[in-house]
Structure 1
Amino acid sequence: MTDFAGQSGYGLADREAAPPAWLHEVVAATPIDNMVDLIVELCSAQAFAAYSDDLEFCLKLRASVRENLETLKSVLCGATSLEGLTLTEPLKFASAQAHLGIPQTSMQKSYRVSFLTQWNEWTSALRDYITTQGISQEEATSALTWLTRVLFRYQDVVASLVAEAYSREGEALSRSRQHVQQRIVREILKSDENELTPSEVDTIGYLLDQSHVAVLLPNLAWGAANQILLGLRAVALPNHSLVYPMTLQSTVIWFGKRGGWKPETLRSIQDELQRLGMPASVSGSNDGFKGFKQCYDEVRQVERVRVGLNAVTETKVLCYEDVALEILLLRDQQRAIRFVQSELGPLSNDTVEAERLRETLEASFKCGSHVATAEYLQLHEHTVRNRLHKAEELLGRSLLDRRIEIQVALRIRKLVVKRK
């Protein structure tokens, strides 16, 4: 094995003060998988919290972190030089952030978090070796100083490369009409302003002084969403439409119409989405500039409910009007849980029996009679009667008492109680 003093991977300045020979062995023997997981978790929470649920974004973040760690490890082992360093995934990730309009300050923060964590992890590995091997204080200090110096030199190089990639992508995007359109929409959603300039209206190609409906497609990127737009327009018959990439893998489409939306037209949009077989959340109809933003808020709230319901039922497409009550009650999660427990009592338990009784109760409320309920559940009528009687015993009151509250509690329970 080549001694560090004879390696040329660090550049001229590093050869003048090579690390102790054992440092190479420590670095090479240190696994990085746990480091990758820790850095991704910290960066997601501290720098990219708004994108922590965006799978594609998180995968790009993980790929960037992993390549950075692997490259730094190679540099510390002397196999890679800082001079002429090339990276792939970190530069792709920087470009992705530029596309999403993530401020460069967030990217800078993520690198501060990342390199501080790496320094803590690498120095911890060295200290463990120093302690177990009885390394002298002088040699230990030399090793830790060298590692710190190389790590922060690596940080400077990488920070410059990703900042350049971010700026280059940002400049290219700033010349793109599509990106300008997305920037204007992003500013509309974030600001308290209630009007656009004529040039901004012309750029986004969508009038805000009309009645809006929004559709959130959580698993469809901007390009793919544009491909299904024609079919949706054919059933919605809007005056205008606008496609906006919410994240790297999810898209929101607004449809605008003068004169308002009829309920049957909203249902036709839902039916078309069902036919396409893709998950989607649909807002209610809202008017004007504020209505445009209200639609965006609604589809995000509907999507949270849809994801929660999808854990217990196959819910592909959901409309705001179908879950407006759930959205209202879920604004206070703890109060919603207490409401469910108070109204359902033992029926809220996560047991096979309680689940069977809840299913029968919901079917009974839906169907209206024992005979129809039995047919719906494909059970004998006596079985339905027995289950409903058992439910009344556990509730301690007739099902006719607080019927509405029980129905609401059954709906809310699906969203607030975690399944085993």
Structure 2
Amino acid sequence: MELSVLLRIYRHGQQAALRYANEMIETQNWPEEGRVEILTEVWSRATDWFSLCVEQLITAYAEERERWLRSALTRRRQQVEAVLRGDAVDVTAAETSLGHPLRRRNTALVIIADSETDGTTGLEESAVRLAAALGAPRPLLVPVGSRTLWAWLATDHTPDLTLLNATTRPKDIRIGIGITANGVEGFRSSHREAVAALQADARQLVLYSDVELVSLLSADRTALSTFIDRTLGRLADDVHAPLRDTVIAYLAEGVGGASTKLGLHRNTVRYRLRQAEDLLGHSLETGRLELHLALVCATADTQSAN
């Protein structure tokens, strides 16, 4: 029962006891002063008793509620971990237990605090705000320690993640977001991707869709760094970031597309491409796939460092 209900029960008990005392005193043939003295004593003792009981009630209630919450959170996490492991799970029972529709389209979030906190309340509030910004219902929340929160949004459509901006999240947390996918398998895969997004990039908000190639290629960070340096040569230097952006846009969309995307004149795009070829020492068409991958990974590394 809620604490307010329990307190009402105690108040009714106190009032009933006092009524009984009043009725008993009224039946006695005592002088008026004696009755007042006895009533005063009874009221005083009843008030002291009630205050003591309420203090003990509140303490016991808080302790029991904390035990219940810990137990409920433990059961929720165990249920979620079973789904993530791919255990044989009764989906209908799991949905009822978690209060979350696993069969819908799921978008996973992993939210990490930059410093130690007194709990995950702030992280949960951030997750709820993110869900509201995306027009999604209240998310499934699973605390993992004092600094990490797993969350899932269940929707009928793919959320528009471009709606997220600096106003929807505090500056002292990092958020990884997986790709929206259907059903239980989507619940699993999106979570794996949210975790991988934070491992691949150090920015505050990381969409796995933006760093998927980097994540797939970055299991060995040393090898990835060697690949970037070997493929890009002097083009990997920080000072040449505008040239790299131009080459990426060109490889993806051609001169016209790069011009439109970057807001540059076509001649400026061509000039930058020639500069890039001079730094590479060969045509942009030589090893085009490797070049494109190295540029994407170098850009992600630069953004991560910033």
Q: TM-score, structure 2 length as denominator?
A: 0.60
CA RMSD of aligned residues (A): 3.9
1:413 aligns with 2:301: no
Indicate conservation of the 8 Å contact 2:73/2:142, yes or no: no
1:203 aligns with 2:111: no
Cα distance in 1 between the residues matched to 2:190 and 2:178: 5
In structure 1, stretches of 5+ residues that fail to align are 1-167, 308-314, 349-353
Indicate conservation of the 8 Å contact 1:211/1:287, yes or no: yes
1:243 aligns with 2:141: yes
Identity %: 19
1:272 aligns with 2:146: no
1:193 aligns with 2:87: yes
Higher relative contact order (CA 8 A, sep 6+): 2
Indicate conservation of the 8 Å contact 1:216/1:250, yes or no: yes
Query: Counterpart of 2:108?
Result: 214
How many Å apart are 1:227 and its aligned residue? 2.2
Number of aligned pairs?
Answer: 228
1:331 aligns with 2:195: no
Indicate conservation of the 8 Å contact 1:273/1:280, yes or no: no
Query: Counterpart of 2:208?
Result: 320
Equivalent residue for 2:179, pick from 269, 284, 294: 284
Cα distance in 1 between the residues matched to 2:281 and 2:129: 52
User: Residues 412 and 197 from structure 1, CA distance in 2 versus in 1: closer, same or farther, beyond 3 angstroms?
Assistant: closer
User: Residues 239 and 316 from structure 1, CA distance in 2 versus in 1: closer, same or farther, beyond 3 angstroms?
Assistant: closer
1:353-387 CA-partner distances (Å, limit 9, x unpaired): x32224323245438579889977xxxx69x93x6
Cα distance in 1 between the residues matched to 2:289 and 2:91: 48
Cα distance in 2 between the residues matched to 1:229 and 1:415: 25
Cα distance in 2 between the residues matched to 1:400 and 1:187: 48
Cα distance in 1 between the residues matched to 2:259 and 2:190: 41
Indicate conservation of the 8 Å contact 1:207/1:240, yes or no: no
User: Residues 251 and 174 from structure 1, CA distance in 2 versus in 1: closer, same or farther, beyond 3 angstroms?
Assistant: closer
How many Å apart are 1:299 and its aligned residue? 0.3
Indicate conservation of the 8 Å contact 1:216/1:300, yes or no: yes
Cα distance in 1 between the residues matched to 2:299 and 2:259: 26
Q: How does 1:74-113 map to 2 (within 5 A)?
A: none
1:347 aligns with 2:235: yes
How many Å apart are 1:416 and its aligned residue? 6.5
Query: Counterpart of 1:85?
Result: none
Indicate conservation of the 8 Å contact 2:175/2:205, yes or no: yes
How many Å apart are 1:305 and its aligned residue? 1.8
Indicate conservation of the 8 Å contact 1:235/1:272, yes or no: yes
Indicate conservation of the 8 Å contact 2:133/2:168, yes or no: no
User: Residues 238 and 358 from structure 1, CA distance in 2 versus in 1: closer, same or farther, beyond 3 angstroms?
Assistant: closer
How many Å apart are 1:415 and its aligned residue? 5.8
Q: TM-score, structure 1 length as denominator?
A: 0.45
Q: Which has the larger radius of gyration?
A: 2
1:301 aligns with 2:301: no
In structure 2, stretches of 5+ residues that fail to align are 1-62
Equivalent residue for 2:72, pick from 174, 177, 180: 177
Indicate conservation of the 8 Å contact 1:216/1:281, yes or no: yes
Moved more, 404-413 or 296-305: 404-413
